[in-house]
Amino acid sequence: MEPDLYDFFYRTEDAHWWFRARRAVVGSILERLYPEGELEIADVGCGTGGMAPLLARFGRVTGVDESVQAREYCARRGLPRVLELHEWERTGAHYDLVTAFDVLEHVEDDVTFLKRIRARLRPGGRLLLTVPAHPFLWGPFDEMNHHQRRYLRGSLHRSLVFAGFEVERSTYYNLLLFPPLAAVRLTERFLKPKQDPSDLRPLLERWFRIGRANGFLEAVMSAERHWLVHRNLPLGSSLLAVGRNHAS
């Protein structure tokens, strides 16, 4: 990710509808999986720590991120323990739950990365992750964030299985965002020239502007959580998956 984007996300992720809706969806899944809480949790690729307050409702959270800037922002947010990836692995600690929210798409070898995560899970422990969906939706935001890929449900499932996980759940979400995003991406592809990622900051500022419709968009997007607690969605601009470690 472009280094200056950490400051941007730190300033917007508490209030912006997209981040708030994702927290609502993830929270509903966690409440169903772990009604009692009291977990040891590692949030891998924790960024500026926007998911930490939600995760802390379910147990003790360790943040993990390669970026020095990200770890500094987590400290500002009050996340007490944030480690670099290799430092985290060297601790030898094992967890009930590892999360990776919009992280896997940044990694060149996703299967090897998933194996490293599984090695830190206790037997029966879970990985909960989200990723951007549908390669044809590739756009400026993917370029700015140095994404390697967008996933289909089948491709994400295969990566998890190759890494040794039993896939308990995989579903699309952000269904209502999918049609307008698809329309924009197809229009850009056929009518606009490709832009250099360094020129795309104004686009990001517009996408994540907190305007008067922020509350409405949050309510609409987070409403999916009621469906996703019990059922999968067949389409959406993002994917959510739960993998279980059955290693002895």
The residue that leads in pLDDT, 143 or 54, is: 54
For residue 181, the tally of other CB atoms under 10 A from its CB is 17
The phi and psi torsions of 167 (rounded to 5 degrees) equal -85, 110
pLDDT value, residue 186? 83
Would you state the pLDDT for residue 199?
Answer: 53
pLDDT for res 203 = 61
Q: Please give the single-letter amino acid code of residue 55.
A: L
Mean pLDDT of 48-54: 95
**Helix boundaries (H) for 38-84:** 52-55, 68-77
Q: How confident is the model at residue 14 (pLDDT cuts 50, 70, 90)?
A: very high
Which is more confidently placed, 73 or 204?
73
Virtual torsion, Cα 109, 69, 95, 113, nearest 10 deg: 0
pLDDT score for 4: 72
Alpha-carbon distance 88 to 106, whole Å? 19
- pLDDT band for 74, please (50, 70, 90 cuts): very high
State the average pLDDT over residues 162-179: 95
Spatial separation of the C-alpha atoms in residues 150 and 189, rounded to whole Å:
16
Mean of all residue pLDDT scores within the chain: 90
Identify whether the C-beta of residue 240 lies closer than 8 Å to the C-beta of residue 129. yes
The pLDDT of 114-127, averaged and rounded, is 97
- Give the range among 3-17, 128-142, 204-218, 225-239 with minimum mean pLDDT: 204-218
> What type of residue sits at position 244?
R
- Residue 196 — pLDDT band, cuts 50, 70, 90? low
Query: What is the arithmetic mean of pLDDT over 125-152?
Result: 93
Domains of the chain, with CATH numbers?
5-244 (3.40.50.150)
Amino acid 21: pLDDT: 95
Asked whether the predicted pLDDT for residue 18 surpasses 70, the reply is yes
Residue 7 confidence (pLDDT): 86
Q: What is the pLDDT of residue 229?
A: 93
Whether residue 111 has pLDDT greater than 90: yes
